[in-house]
Each structure stands twice: as structure tokens, then as C-alpha cells.
Amino acid sequence: MQYDAGTFDVLHADWPVYPAGHGWQLALRSLAVFPPNVRFRPIDDIDKCLLFVAAGTGSCLEPKGDLHDPRWFHVAVWHDDLLELHERGLISGMSLMSEYETAVAWYEQHKNTIVMNNGQLCRLDQPLRDHYDEELPTIPRIAAEGITVTDASTDILISLTRPVRDLERAIRQRVEPLLLIPFYDTAIREAGVILETRLREITGSASFGQVLIDEYYKLICSGCVDGPRAIFKVLRSELRTIFKFVRNDFAHALRDVTDGQCRVLLDRTSSILQMITRIAGE
């Protein structure tokens, strides 16, 4: 994974999505685009990064079978960023354990496993406290029902948004008059239309919604000999969540939203459009 700052990370996992970068702000944005009743259940933990599947009400939020299947909605978050979100009170459903406590919990789950040791089959050894120097609780432990974003995140998300003048030009020109009226839900709807129109222009397709996203994803991946780039999976996830939980919601009904909520969604849509523009220019 190569990030905008030029830094690299390697994750030894073939996941449907990866973190968009480092920082609790990015992690919060990844979690907060979902409806407030959604919980995130961990399904994988590799290289100090957790993969969550989103669970809630509705067919797309009731994952079953292969929980890694790309048709479900996923979020990937680094351990350090989860810890920061926890300390700031921005997520619930998480506690911390020491390395020894984590090893014991893992042992209890796998203690009946038979392994090969010096040419002989035997059961796993129980962890010994003396083998672990770190006593501080620094390793995330997720509740069985998963984590959820707390109400405290609302004001934080608003404070992180860019001014309207810094949004993608196509969105800014369209929504500025609407914000003065103020027709906040219409502004969000217009931004979604701009995003969907841009995808149709790139793909040359008349499709819409999730089908259009799949066509776009296949198009940008078609030039990757070694498989889809990590950033393409991040973009696919961003598009799927914004279409499912924002674009669809505002496209078919009037919505009562605040100025702050509007700016959060406009900023999010603008960021996705900017990513698409950068990829199209490569």
C-alpha cells in the first residue's frame, strides 16, 4: 500500500479492503459513514491491523457464509488508530489487554490443537507470564457484538471537514448556491449525482448504483498485471458505502440534515471524486 505522503506499508493479507492510511481521523471517517446502528465485528487480525465486517439491519448488513466476501461491507483499521479512538471515547465495545493476557486468550481458544514439536505430535504449551515483558494493556480486545461509533464522534467529524471553498470544483460550484438557501439535502443529492455521472463518463456505461461501481472497479483493475492495487480496493469500498448509505438515501426522499452533517458528507464525496480524478489522470 502506497499512501499520498509517499510512505509504504505491507499487509500480508488478501482482504476486500485495506486502511486508507494511518491516523485516527482516517479510521473514524471509515467507520462513521455507516448508519449509527451498525456494529463492526472483527474477522481477521494481521500485521497489527484488524479487518471488520459491518453488521446491522438489512440484507447487505447481515453477513453470513464467507465473511470476507466482497459483497459485504468491510472496514480495516490499524491497532494504533483503534487505540486512539478508544482513548478519545469515539468508539465503544473495545477494551485493552496485555501481551500475556492476549496469549492466554489465544491459548484457551486453541489449546486442543495438535502441533509438531521436535518431530513429535503434542498439544500447545500454555503461555508463561515470565515470557512476556509488556504488562501494560495495549492490545485491542473487541466485544463479541463488535464496536460501534459513539455520539461523541459527530462534532469531531464536523471539525475535520474542509471549507466548502476547498471541495472539488465540480461539486463546489453546484452546491454553493444551495447552501445559501439553505437546501442541505439537495446539496448532498447534487454531489452524489456529480460523482455517479463521473463514473459513467469514465466507464462509458449507462448503469447505476452498485453495478456501475463494479464496472468501474473492473476497469481500473484491468491494467494491473499482478492483481488489483490496494488503493483500488479502498476506493471501491468508499464508493460502495457512499452510494449505499448516502447517495441512495438522499436520492429518493427529502432529508432533514444540519449544516455540519451536510459538510461532512460533501467533504467525503469530494474526496472520492478527487481520488477518481487522480486515477483517471495516471
What are the domain boundaries of the chain?
1-96+143-160, 99-131, 163-282
E strand residue ranges, 15-119:
39-46, 49-55, 74-78, 91-92, 94-97, 114-117
pLDDT in tens, 228-276: 688 899 999 999 999 999 998 898 889 999 999 999 999 999 999 999 9
Task: Please list the helix, strand and coil fractions of the chain in percent, rounded to the nearest 5, in that order.
Answer: 50, 15, 35
**Stretch 73-86: mean pLDDT:** 95
What was the pLDDT predicted at 125? Answer: 81
Confidence class of residue 212 from pLDDT cuts 50, 70 and 90?
A: very high
CA distance 231 to 220: 11
Q: Confirm if 273 and 266 have CB atoms less than 8 A apart.
A: no
Q: Is the dihedral of CA 170, 171, 174, 177 positive or negative?
A: negative
Q: Is the dihedral of CA 181, 185, 191, 197 positive or negative?
A: negative
What was the pLDDT predicted at 129? Answer: 79
Residues of the chain with pLDDT > 90, as a percent, come to 65
Lowest mean pLDDT among 50-54, 91-95, 103-107, 172-176: 103-107
Please give the single-letter amino acid code of residue 190.
Answer: E
What was the pLDDT predicted at 108? Answer: 81
Strands 139-142 and 94-97: antiparallel
**Stretch 59-86: mean pLDDT:** 94
pLDDT in tens, 3-14: 666 667 777 889
C-alpha closest to that of 93 among 50, 39, 162, 14: 39
Lowest mean pLDDT among 2-16, 29-43, 66-80, 91-105: 2-16
Cβ contacts of 238 within 8 Å, gap of 6 or more: 20, 271, 272, 275
Q: Confirm if 41 and 53 have CB atoms less than 8 A apart.
A: yes
**Stretch 195-221: mean pLDDT:** 94
**Stretch 179-195: mean pLDDT:** 96
Strands 120-123 and 114-117: antiparallel
